[in-house]
Amino acid sequence: MTTVSVVESLRQQIATCETQLGYLRQQLAEAEHLQQQRRLRGEESVRRTTDYDPLAHDMSYGLSDDFRSEIFAALSHAEEEQQEQSVQRWPLDRTEYKRYGRQLIMPEIGLQGQLRLKNASVLIVGVGGLGCPAAAYLVGAGVGTVGLVDGDVVEESNLHRQILHSTPRIGMTKVDSARVALNSLNPNVRLISHPTRLSPESAIATFQPYDLVLDCTDTPASRYLISDTCVLLGKPLVSASALRTDGQLMVLNNPPRAKGDGSGGPCYRCVFPKPPPPESVVSCGDGGILGPVVGVMGVLQALEAIKVITAEQPGVNGNSVRPTPADSPSLLIFSAYANPMFRSIRLRARKPKCAACSTQASVTPDALNSGSLDYVQFCGSINPVNTLSANERISVDNYAKIRMEVNPFTGMEPSRDSHILVDVREKVQFDLCSLDGSINIPFSTVSSVLTKEASEVESKWASELRSHSDKPIFVLCRLGNDSQLTVKRMKELGLDNGGQRWIGDIKGGLRAWRENVDNDFPEY
């Protein structure tokens, strides 16, 4: 780039930023005005930390995403204020008729449905891949109060699926980042921040003020905790999850009848009385996730929440036609690459001996509040793999020396060919980036069992390694766990020639390699 074009580009960027600052200042003034109006109207003021303002954050740390929406938001505030004098004439504000018009004219919603949404409060636990789209649609639909629980901050690897967050807001708490986006989407919704991880001790107090809860979290422990709390407080729960190309959705504890009442909907413990073994639990970070897959599930959570909120209350005679929600509990399974993509499964009713929702329940408010229910222990955790002895392992620094340093006896020759480097990540990961000279034997291949017939014709990978019986084998993976298990497996197969050949793992895997040896090696 020439100096002239650099100067010109900088001028343009400064001009753009100044314009944007102007818009933001205008929006801030409008927002402050609106806040003051709300206080005058005697509304409960929005709970927020005193030293934080999402608009101020955007001004100092990042640029707003969409000027047009900001301007419209500002304009709609002005319009709303004009309307406040004639507020009692119609059940909704004039701006609300306009904003929600497309759903108001549907018999499933209608005026009563919209008023129910407006009076409803929904708690969204987890503002990630599920929580972002769910929150966007509920705020867009005009749910009166939306609470957001999350203790994490926005990371770059979140952005392909967590649609409320944005590049300039990396490092901001997810709750604050979501507030900026949601406030811009619909400033009429009261947003409540809970910028901490949900704990058993805080769960009841956090859930108490809300009508309905969305489980948008990502661990078994939080799923049991959220379900138990909903059962104790009698709140319906919309639970979803997603991994790779699959998603699952359940509406639980709906209707939320008293403990032991078989006509109430099942809870998470009714469906899954025992937690899965921790080694079977795969996170999105390890297994991967396709953005639209988790997006679909979050959108469906918003849909189910709207259906629960706007459902005809029993004993109330409304004159609008509304389909009754499906009575029998079900699990919706989504598989992006199966045909058909959606499948609905009939689930069991409440379990007569459920630990949470039966008369024999051991989950009680006291047990929860006192912290005596240890959900993390209940679900277990994987201990870091540590199956090898010290002389079967090598640090990344020492391995780097083996790769790079010249052999002091033979002169210049690097010793890269002196050994075999086996990378046991799955092929798709190996293809993303790998160390020069490494060969790929995916862990899934290493783990597959040798049947009686197959053991005679030994697996190709094993016989190839056997054919170079003189060279030591270094095993590498992403984080350093699968590599240890592979070393064990290779020795079981006798690839070490009864201890003649060294086989060991590279400690900490490619993560340690990047941190200690080659900062350029991609992180994914």
Residues forming the site for other proteins (CB under 8 A): 126, 128-131, 215-220, 223, 240-244, 246-248, 271-277, 279-284, 287, 289, 294, 331, 333, 335, 338, 343-348, 444, 447-449, 451
Residue 283 interacts with, from other proteins, Zn ion, none (CB under 5-8 Å by kind) = other proteins
Residue 103 in contact with residue 141, Cβ under 8 Å? yes
Cβ distance to Zn ion smaller for residue 252 or 475: 252
Q: Please select the residue that binds Zn ion; options are 138, 148, 290, 357, rule is CB under 5 A.
A: 357
Cβ distance to other proteins smaller for residue 151 or 275: 275
CA distance to 250, 300, 323, 340, per residue, from 344 (Å): 10, 13, 18, 11
Q: Annotated catalytic residue: which of 230, 284, 379, 433?
A: 284
Q: Which stretch binds Zn ion (CB under 5 A): 50-58, 68-76, 196-204, 355-363?
A: 355-363
477 carries an active-site annotation: yes
| Residue 178 Cβ vs other proteins, minimum distance, rounded to whole Å | 14
189 contacts: CB under 8 Å, gap ≥ 6: 139, 142, 143, 144, 145, 146, 182
Residue 29 interacts with, from other proteins, Zn ion, none (CB under 5-8 Å by kind) = none
Residue 236 in contact with residue 253, Cβ under 8 Å? yes
- Asked if omega into 323 is within 30° of 0 (cis), the reply is no
Residue 269 interacts with, from other proteins, Zn ion, none (CB under 5-8 Å by kind) = Zn ion
State the Cα–Cα distance between residues 236 and 213, nearest whole angstrom: 7
Residue 503 interacts with, from Zn ion, other proteins, none (CB under 5-8 Å by kind) = none
- Asked if omega into 255 is within 30° of 0 (cis), the reply is yes
Cβ distance to Zn ion smaller for residue 182 or 270: 270
Work out the number of other CB atoms within 10 angstroms of the CB of residue 108: 14
Work out the number of other CB atoms within 10 angstroms of the CB of residue 270: 26
As beta bridge partners, residue 246 has: 243, 335
216 carries an active-site annotation: no
Binding site, annotated residues = 129, 150, 157-161, 174, 218-219, 267, 270, 354, 357
DSSP state of 225: H
Residue with tokens 């990371």, as numbered in its chain: 155
| Residue 357 Cβ vs Zn ion, minimum distance, rounded to whole Å | 3
Helices (H), 63-209: 67-83, 94-99, 101-104, 110-119, 131-141, 174-185, 200-207
Q: Please select the residue that binds Zn ion; options are 198, 240, 270, 305, rule is CB under 5 A.
A: 270
155 contacts: CB under 8 Å, gap ≥ 6: 170
Residue 284 interacts with, from other proteins, Zn ion, none (CB under 5-8 Å by kind) = other proteins
356 binds Zn ion (CB under 5 A): yes
| Residue 290 Cβ vs Zn ion, minimum distance, rounded to whole Å | 32
Binding site, annotated residues for Zn(2+) = 267, 270, 354, 357
DSSP state of 409: T
DSSP state of 113: H
441 binds Zn ion (CB under 5 A): no
Q: Please select the residue that binds Zn ion; options are 192, 354, 506, 512, rule is CB under 5 A.
A: 354
Residues designated as active site: 284, 477
Q: Which positions touch Zn ion (CB under 5 A)?
A: 267, 269-270, 354, 356-357
